[in-house]
Amino acid sequence: MSNNTQGIKREKSLQGVKMSKRKTNTIESEKKKREPMTLRDIMNALLVSLAANFGLFIVSPSCVYLNNQQDFPITFRRLMIVMGIGGAANTVVFALFLLLLRLLRKRLYEGALRFTLGLMLSGFIQCVFLNADDTVFSGDRERFNHINAATVFNFVLYFVIALIPVGLHIFLLKRNLYPKLRKNGVAWGASLAFTVQFVWAAIFIYNAEPELASTYTGYLSYKPAMSLSEDENIVVFLSDRLDGEWMDDLIEQYPELTEKLDGFTFYQNNVAHNTNTFPSVPQMLTNTLYNGKEWPNYMREAWSGDTLPSVLKGKGNYDINLLPDCITTINNTRFIEDQCDNIAHAPEYAVKYNYFEQFGILHATLKLSAARVSPYYLKGKMAKGLGANVGRHFVQIDHALEDQRLTSMKPNTDLRFMNYLTKYGLNANNEHKTFSFIHLSGAHTLSNEIAELYAPIDGDADFYQTTRGDFEIIFEYMNQLKELGLYDNTTIIILGDHGRPPVEINPFKHTLDSAITTALLIKPKNSSGELQYDRYSELSNDNFPASVLQYAGIEHGDFGLSYRDIIDNDLHPDRFLQTIKFNNYGRLSLHALYKITGDARDFNNWEVQPKHEHE
């Protein structure tokens, strides 16, 4: 009994010692929690915040800007001032956030410091070694938006690297190693990160050559486009979503069109190459097939080659007047300065800067910077909403400049053109032959105002009423040509960029259930009479650039087959249509590719292909 009693006493004694130790540890832990903030804590928070924000607001934006200068309408100096202000403010805010964590719990604060250092390391490795290039705008590469082996591996690797400083600190703490490193590691790491970034940025900026000495204020102007030639003109009206079958219905509902379309032939067996404005229109103007790259990369390549405007200008001495939807066709006018004659520059009083509002200089650039330093899978999410023309909201040109073509295609853009056309009118004062490309909203957006250009309506306008109203703009232009005596020497093409989009047929399927054709109407010069029909010729919008060159009398062999090549020689080329889902400006999902042989209105002649064109 005595032994048992002694054992019980010893056990109670041990329990008391353990409880005492637990109390001591708890007290020590509580003391650590309540340990007063030191100057070292404040300095660490400031150093980490400074290094992180210097990279995010200065270094990364510098790389994005200087590698993609054509996409920014503002000077590098203006960008750095705005980003510097934003970076300074965020440095203070983030430092205060870290110090708040320190007040709440020291371990949480220390973990946040080291994790932030880890994120800086991950971002640096991502930018220097893993990004394909420094062009990160919309994240529209497939690998950026889909979970696959590459994105998963990159995502895991990114955050494993980010956790290295935290893991290293825990390892050293557990083994009581390198106390000086544990004590000063955050300050050393943040100082090193800032120094490396500063030297990197200084060398990069020193070796770069900023292109802009002042804000770029170019815009497409109606004024030069009003001046035509007594010699020869080619005028293209691209009516958005001008579906072939819709055009059939339109003529049936409005039979006067057969007379008004004086000298035209309606080619009913024509197809577009894509189901969306982008990349349909830039393909037609540049003769460069969309290759699946990020939108801005494709635009640069497409417009830097032998484009339809550049060949017309260089070999035919044509004046080029382009009035497209800028966002989906050219990104911005800096791409086409050397191949377009209707670019004007806004005076200083008409320019307003968007510094801090949504998608303004600070917001958009910060999103680009975050996308650049992010893992693949997060890039598109970080840059969401920016689109291809990231700088389109940086500078706003006063709409009071009545000759200004708005950057996006919409009913109001059509009305602006109509108002300018009727107020100032066409003239025959151009000494050069002219090529004019005019993109109308057409059936893209239903509009009572557009519909009532033809006749008053009750209720809401439908596709046919809106399209019929838009044709009044075309007829006003044609009537002025006739009044000037220019109608006979002018070739006029009216066509759609694509037919009705697949979502109008079946919003839930990636493949098609029926054929989609695109309207094509052509009036060669010296053609007259009621509307004619060609139901047979197997044409495509792919033939558009070669056809324009042929109408201009320029060798077109390098641009492929023309309409006349196919019609006159009874050719039967394979035609292709790519269905696309348009997620946001600059983000595309390629779905089904079809090869079309014979009659495009017979869906039995459509064969889905196993791969997309760029694969």
* Residue 80 placed within a domain: yes
* Residue 590 placed within a domain: yes
Question: How much is the pLDDT for 138?
Answer: 41
Same domain, 282 and 195: no
Same domain, 267 and 194: no
Question: How much is the pLDDT for 351?
Answer: 94
- Half-sphere exposure (CA, 13 Å, Cβ side) for 416? 24
Question: How much is the pLDDT for 137?
Answer: 47
* Residue 388 placed within a domain: no
- Low-confidence spans in the chain with pLDDT less than 50: 1, 17, 134-143
Same domain, 432 and 463: yes
Distance CA 606, CA 615 (A): 20
- Which residue has tokens 């689109």? 387
Same domain, 279 and 412: yes
Same domain, 417 and 452: yes
* Residue 196 placed within a domain: yes
| In 485-562, alpha helices (H) | 544-551
Strand partners, 235: 436, 492
Same domain, 458 and 556: yes
Residue 377 class from Cβ within 10 Å (0-12 exposed, 13-18 middle, 19+ buried)? buried
Tokens of 150: 């590459």
Distance CA 288, CA 61 (A): 30
Same domain, 526 and 572: yes
Same domain, 195 and 235: no
Distance CA 45, CA 187 (A): 9
* Residue 420 placed within a domain: yes
Range of the domain at 21: 1-25
* Residue 217 placed within a domain: no
Looking up residue 497, the CATH number of its domain turns out to be 3.40.720.10
pTM for the model stands at 0.85
Distance CA 450, CA 475 (A): 14
3-state DSSP assignment of residue 462: coil
Instruction: Specify the number of domains making up the chain.
Output: 3
Q: What is the pLDDT of residues 361-372, one digit of tens each?
A: 999 999 999 999
Contact 189, 166 (CB under 8 A): no
Question: How much is the pLDDT for 143?
Answer: 45
Same domain, 194 and 285: no
Q: Which of 141, 175, 207 is the last residue of a domain?
A: 207
* Residue 353 placed within a domain: no
Q: Which residues contact 192 (CB under 8 A, 6 or more apart)?
A: none
3-state DSSP assignment of residue 261: coil
Same domain, 177 and 235: no
Same domain, 292 and 341: yes
Question: How much is the pLDDT for 586?
Answer: 58
Q: Is the dihedral of CA 507, 510, 516, 518 positive or negative?
A: positive
Same domain, 41 and 21: no
Contact 595, 535 (CB under 8 A): no
Question: How much is the pLDDT for 29?
Answer: 53
For the chain, the straight-line distance linking the first and the last C-alpha, in angstroms and rounded, comes to 88
Tokens of 127: 């930018």
* Residue 361 placed within a domain: no
Question: How much is the pLDDT for 61?
Answer: 95
